[in-house]
């Protein structure tokens, strides 16, 4: 992922008001981010843990999405972005308001995500014996590709494409 500034993040939001985008961007911690090891960049607002933001590259352009979650306990289920079958703890349903007029009318899409948006780390873990131990680099490369594809597909759904 290309390094982002607060201004880049603020300008990237497609389903947030200017005020919401400014608040979300100010909550992002950019110091020490290992951009080269990230496929998506996400964070939870420390003042409001029900609000999470994620920036997903779509055609090499950052697309920021404001997400909301419920107070329900995280489930043991697979994340829709990284599809990791090992890290199934701390996955929640997140809802994103659609971009533009449909979002202003209250339309949303939902997806299951790790609460800490740690998908980039999960796809880079070494495979276990059942997953592809014979070709670990190929396994990791395929998982990174799946994350990119799923994340972009989700962003495009929010964009209304």
Contact 56, 151 (CB under 8 A): yes
Closest among 97, 142, 124, 113 to 36, alpha carbons compared? 124
* HSE-up (13 A, CA, CB side) for residue 55: 26
Task: Estimate to the nearest angstrom the gap between the alpha carbon of 160 and the chain centroid.
Answer: 17
Q: What pLDDT was estimated at residue 135?
A: 86
Residues 37-73 have pLDDT tens digits of 999 999 999 989 999 999 999 999 999 999 999 888 8
Distance, in Å, from the CA atom of 3 to the CA atom of 31, rounded to the nearest integer, reads: 11
Q: What pLDDT was estimated at residue 24?
A: 92
Distance, in Å, from the CA atom of 121 to the CA atom of 81, rounded to the nearest integer, reads: 12
- Domain extent listing, the chain: 6-159
pLDDT at 117 over 90: yes
H/E segment holding residue 126: none
């Amino acid at each position: 992922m290309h390094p982002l500034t607060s201004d880049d993040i603020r300008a990237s939001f497609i389903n947030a008001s200017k005020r919401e985008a400014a608040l979300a961007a100010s909550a992002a911690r950019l110091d020490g981010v290992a951009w080269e090891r990230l496929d998506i960049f996400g964070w939870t607002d420390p003042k409001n843990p029900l609000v999470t933001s994620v920036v997903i590259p779509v055609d090499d352009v950052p697309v920021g999405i404001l997400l909301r979650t419920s107070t329900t306990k995280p489930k043991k289920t697979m994340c829709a972005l990284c599809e990791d079958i090992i890290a199934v703890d701390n996955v929640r349903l997140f809802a994103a308001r659609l971009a533009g007029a449909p979002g202003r009318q209250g339309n949303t899409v939902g997806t299951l995500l790790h609460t800490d948006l740690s998908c980039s780390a999960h796809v880079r873990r070494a495979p276990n014996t059942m997953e592809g131990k014979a070709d670990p680099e190929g396994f990791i490369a395929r998982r990174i590709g799946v994350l990119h594809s799923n994340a972009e597909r989700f962003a495009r759904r929010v964009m209304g494409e």
